Amino acid sequence: KKSGVSGVMADMKPKSVHHAKEWSDVVENLYRFQQAGYRDEVEYKQVKQVETVECWPETGFVKKLQRRDNTFYYYNKQRECEENEVHNVKIYVY
């Protein structure tokens, strides 16, 4: 069994998953990754081979993501995950 700390990000798989119950900054960013077709920041960085994700300095929310088909999603500074979408957001545990 490999530990995720030893630079083995390439094959990190989530151990479990649950749905968000209430909105938070973390849920907001997960919502953005999942809209763009990724589980979360971990998977995005694996697939796109990037070190960092562009975020809004004011809010810390993800600003721009590249989908798997190479088109870009651009996000606002403000919250985009509506209250009725919160329960659709999956939180992965590694």
Over residues 35-77, the pLDDT tens digits come to 999 999 999 999 999 999 999 999 999 999 999 999 999 999 9
Q: Which residue has the higher pLDDT, 33 or 2?
A: 33
Give the global pTM: 0.87
pLDDT computed for residue 3 by the predictor: 37
Q: Where are the domains of the chain?
A: 17-77
Residue 9: what pLDDT? 53
Report the alpha-carbon distance of residue 89 to residue 50 in Å, rounded.
23
Residue 47 sits at φ, ψ, to 5 deg, of -70, -45
Q: Is 85 helix (H, G, I), strand (E, B) or coil?
A: helix
